[in-house]
């Protein structure tokens, strides 16, 4: 198992814009640096958003323990909210038109949709993330994302509160997008990384 562990960049720092995956795939064949870039926010949280909730998700996993929560969410949403997958273009168009984006756990707590939601300016809704400490620090419950309990007991209440309180929803979406963009900015992001790395080295030295 150890041979599977490698040092690499956090997945959040890749390009998850509409054309990002295509550029990264092309870079794998033609390594031109011009193909690599940090994504820009696609739309502002205050832009017109006719759709209340984006909930496109896969539910077919090899392990039932992984797919369980997603299946439960699909059942809760019923037929009123479509959950089937879309083409890349239609998917991004819907993201940019959605007030909120539901992003449950998959093979791990973090999914690529989290970053896409930040870029799209939607309010990101996830199962409670308070048990995790990440860098970049993107998942701040009640500030950059909205969270519900793992057992889904308060899921309906969380969704309803975001539907009813547009100011709170827009505030979370705006803070999440601004925070994510800070880390993607070449100047500010580089400074934040150096600061974080320096603090880690200092902590290790103090503990030795």
Domain boundaries, the chain: 45-196
3-state secondary structure of 98: strand
Q: Residue 142: left (phi > 0), alpha (psi -120 to 50), or beta?
A: left
Nearest Cα neighbor of 55 from 89, 87, 82, 28 is 82
On the question of a cis peptide bond just before residue 136, with omega within 30 degrees of 0, the verdict is yes
Angle made by CA atoms 154, 116, 36, in degrees to the nearest 5: 155
Nearest Cα neighbor of 127 from 162, 152, 94 is 152
pLDDT value at position 194? 92
Q: What is the mean pLDDT for each group of 10 consecutive residues in the chain (208 residues)?
A: 74 90 91 87 93 94 88 91 94 96 93 96 97 92 97 96 96 98 92 92 88
Q: Under CATH, domain 45-196 is a member of which superfamily?
A: Glycogen Phosphorylase B; (3.40.50.2000)
pLDDT value at position 7? 73
CA atoms within 13 A on the CB side of 142: 1
Strand partners, 53: 100
pLDDT value at position 10? 73
pLDDT value at position 37? 85
* Stated pTM of the model: 0.91
In whole angstroms, give the CA distance from residue 128 to residue 199.
27
pLDDT value at position 138? 96
Rg of the chain over Cα atoms, rounded to whole angstroms, equals 18
């Amino acid at each position: 198992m150890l041979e599977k562990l490698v040092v690499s960049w956090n997945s959040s720092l890749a390009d998850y814009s509409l054309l990002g995956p295509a550029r990264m795939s092309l870079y794998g064949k033609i390594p031109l640096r011009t193909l690599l870039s940090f994504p820009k926010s696609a739309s502002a949280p205050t832009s017109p958003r006719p759709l209340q909730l984006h909930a496109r998700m896969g539910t077919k996993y090899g392990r039932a323990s992984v797919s369980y929560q997603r299946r439960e969410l699909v059942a809760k949403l019923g037929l009123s909210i479509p959950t089937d997958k879309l083409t890349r273009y239609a998917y991004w168009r819907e993201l940019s038109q959605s007030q909120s984006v539901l992003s449950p756990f998959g093979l791990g707590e973090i999914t690529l949709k989290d970053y896409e939601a930040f870029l799209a300016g939607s309010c990101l809704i996830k199962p409670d993330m308070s048990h995790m400490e990440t860098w970049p620090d993107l998942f701040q419950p009640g500030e950059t994302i909205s969270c519900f309990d793992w057992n889904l007991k308060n899921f309906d209440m969380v969704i309803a509160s975001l539907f009813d309180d547009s100011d709170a929803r827009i505030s979370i979406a705006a803070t999440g997008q601004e925070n994510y963009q800070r880390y993607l900015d070449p100047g500010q992001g580089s400074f934040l990384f150096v600061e974080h790395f320096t603090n880690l080295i200092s902590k290790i030295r103090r503990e030795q």
